[in-house]
Chains A and B, each alone.
Chain A
Amino acid sequence: MGIVNKHTKINRADIYPDHFGRRKFKNNLFLGTVIFFSLITISFVFLIIGTLVVKGYHQINWAFFTQTPPDTFTAMMAKSSGQLIPGGIINGITGTLYLVAIASLIAIPFGILIGIYLYENSSKRYASFIRDITDVLQGVPSIVVGLIVYLWVVVHITRGYSVLAGSTALAIMMLPLIIRSTEEAMKMIPDTLKEAAIALGTPYYKVVLRVLIPTSFSGIMTGILLAISRIMGETAPLMLTTLGNPAINWNITKPVSAVPLLIWQFYNDPNMVDLIWSSTLFLMGFVLILNLLAKWIAAKRNF
């Protein structure tokens, strides 16, 4: 090393001859790998959404939101003469909104009640059993939920494919999500707030209505929006429960269409290919907005 004085630059590798260079290289290599694979992961989001936008935007027009889909022959004629496929997916849009509304009507009240029950009795054995069962229910594949609702509602109640059956299937899938998010949101409420209400002699139902639900409202809302965005694109359970309908339908005991069901039909019909992308773009846009809305509410919450 020669003469060492204060001007000599000392290399760390000279002091620590234990392959520091190699360790540092490995360290950087690993960091590079982590960044590389993370970029691959998030690139899929852009690849998928990008594909939908590029392929779907030119079919989005006024008719798309106001008309029902054309039959195969009309679509084929339009395609062969180089025009846009006429018609739209209004029966699917109304069907999806209808199904989601009925499902929410079933799942939201029950979900919140059960969530409050789990929060209030968190230490009880029975409550923790219910919590485990809720987790099991959340893990049940959507196709199995469809199968079950077919056996329950389609066979025994409406005796045919129906809105009620589809909504029941979606409600069963929403329920665990709402229960868990209600419970989690309530856990964030400071105990002092609840104790203050109880110390004032407030009846228990008022504590729930005036303290628990309002303070955890944004958390519950986030859970509801995420649950709706999850079930909105569900296709498999609807194939077994509502089947589809070429026209708009508001009768709860009759089959109804939904945007994902229409996508599945378009996919199976070579003449309709062009409508696939605009429908998926619409569905994706809707799901995306709900997701971002949920994130925004979650970020704004006080607790």
Chain B
Amino acid sequence: MNSDKILKYVLFFASFLILLISGGMLYSLIQGSMLSMHHFGWKFLISSEWNPTKGQEHYGALLFIAGTLFTSILALIIALPMAFSTSLFIGEYFRNTRMASIVSTLVDLLAGIPSIIYGLWGFYILRPFIVSIGLSAQGYGIFTAGLILAIMIIPYATSLSNTSIMMVPNELKEAAYSLGATRLEVIWNVILPNARSGIAASYILAFGRALGETLAVTMLIGNANIIPTGLFSTGNTMASVIANQFGEASGLQLSSLIEIGLLLFVITTLINAAGKFIIKKMA
């Protein structure tokens, strides 16, 4: 066997690592949550009772699923105008200018800030601010968590939207301008219809990010095991409950937490797959 073949085999077998990690992940999550699955079955998904008291243990994931979806959807709604404006700023209005490259560097930096720093900033700066303008008594809850999440996902929503806005052919835009269209009309009638799948994909991927965020949300949502009833209600998310209770959990509780991890894994994978599918169809 010559050296060329050896290298080819090394490269080929290295790729097994990816299969091993992802396959092992799914296997271990399913195996770890077996106990809880046997115990609660499908009811795990529709029960909103979470009671770790020994003797009357009962676990259901609904309230965490609800909390995760509420905060993430709210984050997406808040992020939408900011991310959309920023990608128009970078990709259309000021494209290829110094301004655009500064803004784009800053937005990238936003993606580089660790989750725990967002959490601290939210806890010590944003939360007191929300209390002081009288929106909520304690400042914890869906709204505060959603607001911080929105800032965190802006860069993810922006980066791909930029590219797809920039990819719209110049001929199309020039044709519209030559008919007397204003910039706004070009954006609305030419750029958006052409870039819409890329923009949609970027928001879907950003939503996937929001679902799995842990610490920033944990520090702001209030960690109350109830289904959120309104914008300023407290709640809990799937990632937060794992982070909060994993340390002291064992037996059925541990298994239930792993099942929540499995659910989170499946949901984020489906959302990401949807986003990637749209990107692939676009290309």
Interface of A is mostly: helix
Contact B112 A229 (CB under 8 A): yes
Question: Is B18's CB within 8 Å of the partner chain A?
Answer: yes
A168-207 contacts to B (CB < 8 Å): 172, 175, 179, 203-205
Contacts of A44 in B (CB 8 A): 110, 151
B50 sits at the interface (CB 8 A): no
Whether B18 pairs with A148 at a CB distance below 8 angstroms is no
* Chain A residues whose CB sits within 8 angstroms of the CB of B264 once the complex forms: 141, 143-144
Central interface residue in A34, A280, A287, by most chain B CB within 10 Å: A34
The reply on A78 being an interface residue by CB < 8 A is: no
User: For the complex, what is the distance from the CA of A208 to the CA of B8, rounded to whole Å?
Assistant: 11
Known interface pairs A117-B11, A135-B272. Does A140 touch B25 (Cβ–Cβ under 8 Å)? yes
Whether the Cβ atoms of A30 and B117 lie closer than 8 Å is no
- Tell me the nearest residue of chain A to B32, going by C-beta: A151
Task: Say yes or no: B85 contacts A26, CB within 8 Å.
Answer: no
CA A72 to CA B262, docked complex, whole Å: 37
Nearest CB of chain A from residue B96's CB, rounded to whole Å: 15
Verify if B1 is at the interface (C-beta below 8 Å from A). Answer: no
Set of chain A residues within 8 Å of B29, measured between Cβ atoms: 144, 147-148
Query: In the docked arrangement, what's the CA distance between A248 and B110, Å?
Result: 31
Q: Give which listed residue, A26, A113, A144, A284, contacts B14 with CB less than 8 A.
A: A113
In the complex, B154 has a CB within 8 A of chain A: yes
Q: Which of B109, B208, B211 touches A45 (beta carbons < 8 Å)?
A: B109
Given A31-B93, A141-B264, A147-B242, is A235 in contact with B215 using a C-beta cutoff of 8 Å? Answer: yes
Place the interface of chain B in its size category. 35 or more
Q: How far is the CA of A113 from the CA of B16 in the complex (A)?
A: 11
A230 CA to B93 CA, complexed, in Å: 30
Asked if A147 contacts B261 (CB within 8 A), the reply is yes
Q: Is B131 an interface residue (CB 8 A)?
A: no
Comparing A3-11, A87-95, A126-134, A215-223, the segment that makes contact with chain B is A126-134
Partner of B120, one of A132, A236, A263: A263
Is A152 interfacial (CB 8 A cutoff)? Answer: yes
Q: How far is the CA of A45 from the CA of B106 in the complex (A)?
A: 7
Contact of A235 among B93, B107, B116, B184 (CB under 8 A): B116
Assuming the contacts A143-B239, A143-B243, A235-B115, asked whether A34 and B93 have C-beta atoms less than 8 A apart, the reply is yes
- Chain A residues with CB under 8 A of B123: 267
* Cβ–Cβ contact A205 & B4, under 8 A: yes
- Could you tell me the distance in whole angstroms from the C-beta of A42 to the nearest C-beta in chain B? 4
Given contacts A152-B24, A240-B246, A287-B113, contact A38 B86 (CB under 8 A): yes
Q: Is A224 an interface residue (CB 8 A)?
A: no
Which residues of chain A from 106 to 156 have any CB-CB distance to chain B below 8 Å in the complex? 110, 113-114, 116-118, 120, 126-127, 130, 132-137, 139-144, 147-148, 150-152
Is residue B121 within 8 Å, beta carbon to beta carbon, of the partner chain? yes
Which among A26, A36, A130, A295 has the greatest number of chain B C-beta atoms within 10 A? A130
Q: List, in ascending order, chain B residues with CB within 8 A of A233's CB.
A: 113-117
Cβ–Cβ contact A133 & B22, under 8 A: yes
Q: Is A232 an interface residue (CB 8 A)?
A: yes
B116: nearest residue on chain A (CB-CB)? A235
Contacts of A295 in B (CB 8 A): 105, 108
- Is residue B173 within 8 Å, beta carbon to beta carbon, of the partner chain? no
Assess whether A276 is in contact with B120, with CB atoms less than 8 Å apart. Answer: yes
Q: Does B97 contact A (CB under 8 A)?
A: no
Whether A48 sits at the interface, judged by CB under 8 Å, is yes
Interface string of B85-113 (1 = CB under 8 A from A): 11011000100000000010111111011
**Is B268 within 8 A of A151, CB to CB?**
no
Max chain A Cβ within 10 angstroms of own Cβ: one of B14, B15, B113, B247 = B15
Q: Does any Cβ of A come within 8 Å of B232's Cβ?
A: no
Task: Say how far B273's CB is from chain A's closest CB, in angstroms.
Answer: 7
Please give, as numbers and ranges, the residues of chain B lying within 8 Å of A51 by CB-CB distance.
121, 124-125
Partner among B105, B107, B272 whose Cβ is within 8 Å of the Cβ of A139: B272
Of residues 3 to 20 in B, which have CB atoms within 8 Å of A's CB atoms? Answer: 3-4, 6-8, 10-12, 14-15, 17-19
The residue that A204 contacts in the complex, of B7, B105, B112, B158, with Cβ under 8 A, is B7
Chain A residue at minimum C-beta to C-beta distance from B276: A135
Inter-chain contact B120/A280, CB cutoff 8 Å: yes
Query: Chain B residues with Cβ under 8 A from A23's Cβ?
Result: 182, 184-185
Sampled A-B contacts (15; CB under 8 Å): A23-B185, A33-B85, A35-B85, A40-B82, A113-B10, A130-B19, A139-B269, A141-B239, A147-B29, A205-B3, A233-B114, A236-B215, A240-B243, A280-B116, A287-B113
- 5 more contacts with CB within 8 A, not counting A30-B183, A117-B11, A117-B12, are A37-B86, A48-B121, A139-B271, A233-B113, A267-B120
Interface residues of A (CB under 8 A from B): 16, 23-24, 26-27, 30-31, 33-38, 40-42, 44-45, 47-48, 51-52, 110, 113-114, 116-118, 120, 126-127, 130, 132-137, 139-144, 147-148, 150-152, 172, 175, 179, 203-205, 208, 229-230, 232-236, 239-240, 260, 263-264, 267, 276, 280, 283-284, 287-288, 291, 295
